[in-house]
Structure 1
Amino acid sequence: MAVFIAGPASWNRLVLLDRLPEPVPHMQFAEDSWETLGGTSAGKALSLTALGRDVLLYGLSAEDEDGLRIRSALSDAGVPALWDRSAHTERHVNLMTRAGERVSLYLSAPQAASGAQDALLRDAMADADALVLDLAAEPARLLPVAARTGVPIWVDVHDYDGEAEFHRPFLAVADAVFCNADRLADPVGFLRSRIDAGASLAVCTLGADGAVAVDAEGVEHRVAAVVADVLDTNGAGDAFLAGVLDARLSGLDVPRALEAGARSASTVLGTRHLHPLLDPILL
C-alpha cells in the first residue's frame, strides 16, 4: 500500500447558478442540480487509483442511506477504504457557477472518532510511502500518530488565509503543503514560509493560471494549466495533488511532477462527478 489518505468523503448536492447569490433576500433559478459523491479525500483517492497507485482511504460515515451511497460508490470505483462509524454522514450543498466559483454549505460533518482503531491505523500509516491528512476533525486527531511514523505527510489547506488556527497543526507536521490562491495576498511568500518552516515542497494552485511551487532548495517553479473543456471544477485541486504525489513517488523531479499534476487535474474537469471513474456508477 503506497498512500494512506484520511479525511472527508461526503454526499453532495451540487447546484449550478449563473452567479453566486448575493447576501440579500431574493429568488434565483438554478441552471442544473445533481447529487454525487464529494469530499476532498475521496477525490484524491479516486485520482490516485486512476493513476494506478495503491491507496487506502480512511473515513467516517454513519450507516445511513447517504453513508452507504458513499461507501458503495468508492468500492465500485476500486478504492479500498477503511470506515469508522460516525453519528453523521458528511453532507454538503455546493452552490457553483460555470466559472468555478463555489460556496459550500455543510449540512452535517462527522466529529473525531473514539480511537478504537488507532492500532490498525498506526500500522497502516507506518506501511505507507506517503500520508495525506486532510482538514477535518478525525485527521487532526491523528496528526501526532502520523508524525511518529516518520512517513512523509502531505497536507492540503485549500483556501487558507494564512491566519486560521485549525490549519496550523497540519502545517506544523507537513512535508508537502498544497493550497490555492483564493485568500492569500502573497502566495509565493506563503510557500517560502512553509519551506523555511521545514517542508520540502510547497505548492499553490492558481486556477486557469496553473500552479506555482517552491522546492526544498527555495527554487520557484511554475506550470501552466492543461486546456480542457470544463463541465465542473469540483475535484480538480485534489486531482492536481494526486498527480504530483504519484509523480514524486515515481521519482520525478518537481517540474515534471507539476506537469503530471496539471494533466491529472484536467482529467476531472469534463465530468460532473469527482472523477470519470464515477461516471458509469453515478448515472
Structure 2
Amino acid sequence: MTASVFIAGPASWNSIVVLDRLPEPVPHMQFAEESWETLGGTSAGKALSLTALGRSTLLYALTAADEPGERVRGALDGAGVRTVWGDGDATERHLNLMTRQGGRVSLYLASPSATDGAADSAIRAAMVASDVIVLDLAAEPLRLLPAAKSTGRPIWVDVHDYDGEADFHRPFLAAADAVFCNADRLDDPVAFLRSRIEAGASLAVCTLGAEGAVAIDADGAEHRVPAAHADVVDTNGAGDAFLAGVLDARLEGLDLPTALAAGARTASLVLGTRHLHPLLERD
C-alpha cells in the first residue's frame, strides 16, 4: 500500500504585495509594484505539493464560516487536496510584503485559536491511519502534539525561521523525528542541525535559499544539494514544497542525497508561480 501523510496546520487566505524594498521602520509612503490574493499557509503548501506528487495526503486545518474561509476551502478542493476542516474562531489571513529578491515581512491579520478537542477521536484515527505525521507551527497542532506522539508514527516538523531560542517552537522540536528550517535567523545552521540529531531526531535539514540546502543524517553525515534552476516569480511556499519533495522521496525509499535533490526540484516548481503551487493556477 502507498505510504500516506497526515498534515495539521495553517491554511490561510493571503494578500501579496510586491515592493521594490521592504519598508523601513519610519512613517513613509511606498507604491506597490504588484499585488494579488491567493491561498496561503504552510500546511496548505505542503499538502498541495504532496498531492501533485501523487502522495496520499490528508490536510487538517481550521477555518471559520466566513468569506476567507470559503476561499481557502474552495481553492484546496479545486486543487484536489483531501481535507478535514475544523471549526475555527477565525480564518487565518496574512498580508505578505515581498521583494523580487525574496525578502518578506508577513503580517498576521487573523489566526485561529486551538479548538476544544471535540473532534480529537477522528483526528487521532486519521493520524493512526497515516505513515508520517507533519505538524506545523500553530496553536491547534501544538495542542495535538501529545496525540501525535502517542501514535508512534514519525513526526516531521518545519520550524521555518527559528532563531534557536523561541519558546513556542521547542515542543515541536522535542517531538520531531525530522526537523526542517531555513537559515534566515540562525548564526550557524549546521551546528543547529547537529544539535537536533544529538537530541534524537533522525534527520535535520536547513534550506539556504539560492545556495540550496544542507542536511545532517542520523549518523551525523553532512549532505548538501544545490538549488534547482527556477525563473523566480514568487518565493512563498518554496520551503514547504522542498519538505514535501524530500518526504515523498524518502517514503519511496530513496537515499537522502536523492531525496534532497527531489526537494529542490519540487521547490523550483513553486518558485515559478505566484501561487503556492501550479495546481492553483487558473486559465
**Band the TM-score falls in, shorter-chain normalisation:** over 0.9
Give the 3-state SS of the residue equivalent to 1:212 in structure 2: strand
In 2, the alpha carbon distance for the partners of 1:247 and 1:63 equals: 36
Specify the alignment match of 2:92 in structure 1.
Answer: 90
What is the letter of the counterpart of residue 267 of structure 2?
Answer: A
Shift of 1:175: 0.3
Give the aligned CA root-mean-square deviation in angstroms: 0.7
Shift of 1:265: 0.3
Which residue, 47, 52, 55 being the options, matches 1:53? Answer: 55
Deviations 1:72-120 (A, max 9, x none): 1100100010001112110010000000000000000000011011000
Specify the alignment match of 2:38 in structure 1.
Answer: 36
Runs of 5+ consecutive residues of structure 2 not aligned to the other structure:
none
Runs of 5+ consecutive residues of structure 1 not aligned to the other structure:
none
Give the 3-state SS of the residue equivalent to 2:60 in structure 1: strand
Give the 3-state SS of the residue equivalent to 2:167 in structure 1: coil
Which residue, 18, 21, 33 being the options, matches 2:20? Answer: 18
Deviations 1:209-258 (A, max 9, x none): 00000000000000000011000000100000000000000000110000
Specify the alignment match of 1:76 in structure 2.
Answer: 78
Q: How does 1:166-185 map to 2 (within 5 A)?
A: 166-185=168-187
In 2, the alpha carbon distance for the partners of 1:172 and 1:85 equals: 28
Shift of 1:207: 0.0
Which residue, 133, 136, 153 being the options, matches 1:134? Answer: 136
Specify the alignment match of 1:188 in structure 2.
Answer: 190
Specify the alignment match of 1:113 in structure 2.
Answer: 115
What is the letter of the counterpart of residue 236 of structure 2?
Answer: N
After TM superposition, what 4+ stretches of structure 1 lie above 2 angstroms from structure 2?
none
In 2, the alpha carbon distance for the partners of 1:40 and 1:89 equals: 14
Give the 3-state SS of the residue equivalent to 2:223 in structure 1: strand
In 2, the alpha carbon distance for the partners of 1:270 and 1:178 equals: 22
Specify the alignment match of 2:227 in structure 1.
Answer: 225
In 2, the alpha carbon distance for the partners of 1:80 and 1:127 equals: 14
Give the 3-state SS of the residue equivalent to 1:63 in structure 2: coil
Identical-residue share of aligned pairs (%)? 75
Specify the alignment match of 1:162 in structure 2.
Answer: 164
TM-score between both structures, scaled by the size of structure 1: 0.99
What is the letter of the counterpart of residue 279 of structure 1?
Answer: E
How many residues are aligned here? 281
